[in-house]
A and B are shown apart, each in its own frame.
Chain A
Amino acid sequence: KAGVTQTPRYLIKTRGQQVTLSCSPISGHRSVSWYQQTPGQGLQFLFEYFSETQRNKGNFPGRFSGRQFSNSRSEMNVSTLELGDSALYLCASSLSSVTGSSYEQYFGPGTRLTVT
């Protein structure tokens, strides 16, 4: 089975611009989560989508948004980029159910976003 794929792998943007990151989960996985990794804040949960609905949300400003399509692929959007948004953005997919999940998440290689 192919793993989680993320595109693009590297991205350089200017402050004030917006960016869209893409994630394709493992086939059959309906849950997709996004995390931000920075040296200062570590790994922080952004949001999770399950069956095209946002199921959980972390403590990030509204500039961070996402969506999930019917094929479970997910996109994450950051508007009005700030220097502090420079980070590795990781996508993870998981088997899951409506009522809960004890399944592990499988991570993609990440998108390295640099904001100048």
Chain B
Amino acid sequence: AQSVAQPEDQVNVAEGNPLTVKCTYSVSGNPYLFWYVQYPNRGLQFLLKYITGDNLVKGSYGFEAEFNKSQTSFHLKKPSALVSDSALYFCAVRDSLTGGGNKLTFGTGTQLKVEL
């Protein structure tokens, strides 16, 4: 069965500093990996995805993620954090062996807090 781990419940960073939100995964086939962000009382917003190709994926709002197959990781990064980036971030995986379908398995989420 596929699974996703986000080892940090909360990450604190000062505005202007780089940020990293960690994610590791476990799947039986090739992974399709996603990052989503959730603001209070809102649904999830898509940030970026890795399907195949370059290990560094660029997404919305200046975010990027680095896929590392040997470490089964897909960490979310941003060179310079903004206070408005404060939100709940979810990593998700879809197993390519699932076949047709969109079943995503989510991590437990990481609360990012960016302070002035």
Q: Interface of A with B (CB < 8 Å)? A: 4, 31, 33, 35, 42-45, 48, 50, 55-56, 58, 90, 92, 94, 96-110
Q: Flag if A102 contacts B51 (CB, 8 Å).
A: yes
Cα–Cα, bound, A100→B32 (Å):
11
Besides A100-B99, A102-B51, 6 more A-B contacts (Cβ < 8 Å) are A33-B102, A45-B103, A48-B101, A94-B102, A99-B100, A104-B34
Residue of B nearest to A100 (CB): B100
* Minimum Cβ distance to chain B for residue A66 (Å): 14
Residue in A58, A99, A102, A106 whose CB lies within 8 Å of B46:
A106
Chain B, Cβ-Cβ closest to A58 = B103
CA distance A44 to B3 in the complex (A): 12
Bound-state CA distance A72–B26 (Å) is 32
Which residue of chain B is the closest to A105 with respect to CB atoms?
B102
- Out of A48, A108, A110, name the residue touching B103 (CB < 8 Å): A48
Q: How many residues of B contact A (CB 8 A)?
A: 26
Q: Is the CB of A56 within 8 A of B43?
A: no
Contact present for B108 and A42 (CB under 8 Å): yes
**In this assembly, does B90 line the interface, its C-beta being within 8 Å of a C-beta of chain A?**
yes
Report B79-116 residues with CB < 8 Å from chain A CB: 90, 94, 96, 98-109
Task: Please state if B109 and A110 are interface contacts (CB–CB under 8 Å).
Answer: no
Would you give the shortest CB distance from B114 to chain A, in whole angstroms? 23
Q: Is the CB of A104 within 8 A of B49?
A: yes
How many Å from the CB of A78 to the closest CB on chain B?
19
**Interface status of B44 (Cβ within 8 A of chain A):** yes
User: Given A42-B109, A104-B46, A109-B42, A48–B90 Cβ distance below 8 Å?
Assistant: no
List the A side residues contacting B44 at CB < 8 Å: 90, 92, 107
Please, could you name 21 A-B residue pairs with CB atoms under 8 Å apart, sorted by A? A33-B104, A43-B90, A44-B106, A48-B102, A56-B98, A56-B102, A92-B44, A96-B100, A100-B101, A101-B100, A101-B102, A102-B49, A102-B51, A104-B49, A105-B46, A107-B36, A107-B43, A107-B44, A108-B43, A109-B41, A110-B43
